[in-house]
Amino acid sequence: MPDTLRQILASESALSSITLRGWVRTRRDSKACSFIELTDGSCFKGLQVVIDASLPCYSLMSKILTGASVEVDGDLIASPAQGQKWELQAKEVRLLGEADGTYPLQKKGHTPEFLRTIAHLRPRTNLFGSVFRVRSKMAFAVHRFFQEQGFFYAHTPIITSSDCEGAGEMFRVTTLKQGAPAKPEEDFFGRPTYLTVSGQLQGEAFACAMGNIYTFGPTFRAENSNTARHAAEFWMIEPEMAFCDLQADMTLAEENVRYLVKAMMTECPDELEFFNKFVDKELTNRLQQTLDKPFERISYTDAVDLLLKSGRSFEHPVVWGEGLQTEHERYIAEEHVKGPVTIYNYPKSIKPFYMRQNDDGKTVAAMDLLVPGIGEIIGGSQREERLDLLTEAMAKQGLDEETYRWYVDLRRYGSVPHAGYGMGFERLLMFVTGVSNIRDVIPFARTPGNAAY
RNA sequence: UCCUGAGUAGCUCAGCGGUAGAGCGGGUGGCUGUUAACCACUAGGUCGUAGGUUCGAUCCCUACCUCAGGAGCCA
């Protein structure tokens, strides 16, 4: 593989006769030379290439505009001017691919909204190049976090017939012709199938065999959600631990977030600096505090009390037994705690059948981890491991016993206490980059009415 | 899906009941080891779409489309 800018810029000393390839970010002309700002996406920084007017290739300069791809031979020398440590003194420049005046990316700033309309070109910008380098680093850090603790990576199915109750609307998967009357038994799988909304149920089967497992893969929700933090296709991380209760579940979730914040700060310093300067001026502070301050935990009941005593008038009334509204969660995370906070033990009436009933008979061992600015980043629970209580809850919520027969089997044969959670990968990325719209941390975002590219 | 706001040049925006303007980007010329370079000139727009009101609509009204922000749903 040829050298990348990242490798070259790490050099301690001048280098002679190197070759670099990349894209022209901008070009400036002087009397005796031309300056190209070259980037290749391998790192945040670019390199200034100096082309002397006496070079035969200088005639190419009129065609080398912003966006063009070039290959440059030259020497890496200490830059005599302010602004950069190194520069590349060109000996030969080859124009690989022209980009004319219609190239949409200019030297000046673009809005994220406009860049969304050119999703195929936006990774060439500082912002999106940074986001997607971070995305790669974070994905790897997710695996490292679990692998270091002996978790097994389980590939749960993308196509599934089980609805993880409460997770939302599902996309139907079928080979039946549209409009033709047909029974589900005639479909490809002989039953109705969907794109997964969660790997949890299958994850439980593996946890109840291999101990600690996690999934990390695409997840699909057909909800007509139009918000800055929902997507129809996103990636979710779902650990599931056998012999684990809610306390240990919450502890792992907190450590998980911390580990990834730490990875961001140590592995992506250039990107962090950029985000802090141009995206969110509080980002570095917030991430540092996340590492320094222990996460708070508040029970749902205490959270309701706290909201009632806050003296705040909320648009939605605070009532025990109702779900916490966004404004309530924001108040708790952003004003009361001013940092990440886990709310646990929710009323059982608002939570799905698989969550473990607490001894009070009113609540279940559920938890949500909230972070300032985004809200829920993790949702999890201890699972109901007691056969009678599980089937009772299923009946109450009107679920078809046959569909969940295999799931109930996990309680019928060698049942153990177990717990897990789901972490939204994109929401985590929003948290560590400061980027406020989920569409801007997904390479090609799928949202209602939008699947171009 | 609901509420609010916005759609004017490639981009960011200004404007106004009498058929459009700036900055950046493009082109041309000049200047300069330049740093979102600078200076001058120049090209570029059925003012989101469809109706309506009016002598006349980019501007006012209606519907629709798209986008953004907020809400619900959740990761």
Its ipTM equals 0.91
Residue A161: what pLDDT? 87
CA at A449, C1' at B50: how many angstroms apart? 22
How many angstroms is C1' of B36 away from CA of A426? Answer: 30
**pLDDT at A333 > cutoff 70:** yes
Considering all nucleic acid strands, name the nucleotide whose C1' atom is nearest to the C-alpha of residue A110: B11
CA–CA separation, A287 vs A259, rounded Å? 11
Q: Taking the C1' atom of B30, which residue's CA lies nearest?
A: A31
pLDDT at position A100 is: 85
User: What would the mean pLDDT of A115-122 be, rounded to a whole number?
Assistant: 93
Tell me the pLDDT tens digit for each residue of A258-294: 999 999 999 999 999 999 999 999 999 999 999 999 9
- Residue A453 is predicted with a pLDDT of 85
Which of strand B's nucleotides are less than 7 A from any protein C-beta? 1-2, 10-13, 23-28, 30-37, 66-75
More confident residue, A1 or A205: A205
Domain A5-103 has CATH 2.40.50.140: yes
> What is the pLDDT at residue A372?
93
CA atom of A132 to C1′ atom of B14, Å: 35
CA→C1' distance for A429 and B4 (Å): 28
- Domain boundaries defined on chain A: 5-103, 122-440
pLDDT of A419 over the 80 cut = yes
Residue A165 is predicted with a pLDDT of: 67
Confidence of residue A423 (pLDDT cuts 50, 70, 90): very high
The Å distance, CA of A396 to C1' of B4, is 40
Q: Which nucleotide is nearest to A424 (CA to C1')?
A: B75
Topology of domain A122-440, CATH? BirA Bifunctional Protein; domain 2 (3.30.930)
- The answer, yes or no, to whether residue A179 has pLDDT greater than 90, is no
Averaged pLDDT, A155-183: 84
Question: Tell me, what's the pLDDT at A398?
Answer: 85
Read off the pLDDT of each residue in A324-334 and give the average, rounded to a whole number.
95
Residue A164 clears pLDDT 70, i.e. is over it: no
The pLDDT of A24-47, averaged and rounded, is 92
Per-residue pLDDT at A168: 74
The spacing between the Cα labelled CA in A109 and the C1' in B61, in angstroms, equals 37
Q: Which of A42-56, A236-250, A408-422 has the lowest mean pLDDT?
A: A42-56
Nearest DNA or RNA nucleotide to A26 (CA to C1')? B36
pLDDT grade for A31, boundaries at 50, 70 and 90: confident
What pLDDT sits at residue A189?
93
Q: Quick one: which residue's CA is nearest to B1's C1'?
A: A224
Residue-wise pLDDT for A355-407, tens only, equals 999 999 999 999 999 999 999 999 999 999 999 999 999 998 888 888 899 99
Distance CA A368, CA A421 (A): 9
pLDDT tens profile A89-117: 999 999 999 998 888 988 878 999 999 99
The pLDDT of residue A83: 86
For residue A200, give the nucleotide whose C1' atom is nearest its CA.
B75
CA-to-CA dists, residue A419 to A61, A279, A357, A379, A384, angstroms = 62, 36, 13, 11, 9
Distance A132 CA to B72 C1' (A): 30
Q: Which nucleotide is nearest to A425 (CA to C1')?
A: B75
pLDDT, tens digit, 9 for 90 and up, residues A180-238: 778 888 999 998 899 999 999 999 999 999 999 999 999 999 999 999 999 999 999 99
Nearest nucleotide to the CA of A374, by C1', is B75
What is the rounded average pLDDT for all residues in chain A? 93
Q: Which residue is nearest to nucleotide B66 (CA to C1')?
A: A449
Nucleotide lying nearest to A28, CA to C1' measure: B34
Give the per-residue pLDDT at A188.
Answer: 94
Q: Which amino acid is at A325?
A: Q
pLDDT of residue A4: 95
Confidence of residue A166 (pLDDT cuts 50, 70, 90): low
Encode chain A in three state secondary structure. Answer: CCCCHHHHHCCCCCEEEEEEEEEEEEEEECCCEEEEEEECCCCCCCEEEEEECCCHHHHHHHHCCCCCEEEEEEEEEECCCCCCCEEEEEEEEEEEECCCCCCCCCCCCCCHHHHHCCCCCHHHCHHHHHHHHHHHHHHHHHHHHHHHCCCEECCCCCEECCCCCCCCCCCEECCCCCCCCCCHHHCCCCCCEEECCCCHHHHHHHHHHHCEEEEEEEEECCCCCCCCCCCCEEEEEEEEEECCCHHHHHHHHHHHHHHHHHHHHHHCHHHHHHHHHHCCCCHHHHHHHHHHCCCEEEEHHHHHHHHHCCCCCCCCCCCECECCCHHHHHHHHHHHCCCCEEEEEEEHHHCCCCECECCCCCEEEEEEEEECCCEEEEEEEEECCCHHHHHHHHHHCCCCCCCCHHHHHHHHCCCCCEEEEEEEHHHHHHHHHCCCCHHHCCCCCCECCECCC
Task: Provide the CA A110 to C1' B25 distance, Å, integer.
Answer: 12
| CA of residue A330 to C1' of nucleotide B68, angstroms | 21
